[in-house]
Amino acid sequence: MNILVFKALGNETRLKIVQTLMIKEHNVTDLTRISRKDQTTVSRHLATLSNARIINQKRIGRNIFYSIINPEMKEWLKSTISIKKESKVEGILRNRIQNFLNEQRKDQNE
């Protein structure tokens, strides 16, 4: 793994694209609908993921389909993404604690 892989996975849209590609391969049109981003943005994200050697592409007729580059990368991504999901739970808890503290401060100032 190198720094490009971690930078590529540091963006929420790219992470969503990777999660989608872990299920099955897709073309840009599919990924545009799924991510709710315009085609130019999705194409730039795909280029970043490709440069990081996370995904590859294959042409079938006029369409280019994207997929995770190999089974080893897919397994590594599964473990990495599951760690990231756990940190979202921590973020929710952190927000609840912050809200509670804000309420306490608000009550003290009244």
Instruction: Summarize pLDDT for 68-105 with one digit per residue, the tens.
Output: 999 999 988 888 776 555 556 666 777 777 777 778 77
Model confidence, pTM: 0.70
**Residue 76 sits in a domain of what CATH number?**
1.10.10.10
Number of domains in the chain: 1
End-to-end CA distance of the chain: 53
Distance (Å, rounded) from C-alpha 13 to C-alpha 67?
16
Range of lowest pLDDT (14-18, 38-42, 47-51, 95-99): 95-99
Residue 60 domain boundaries: 3-109
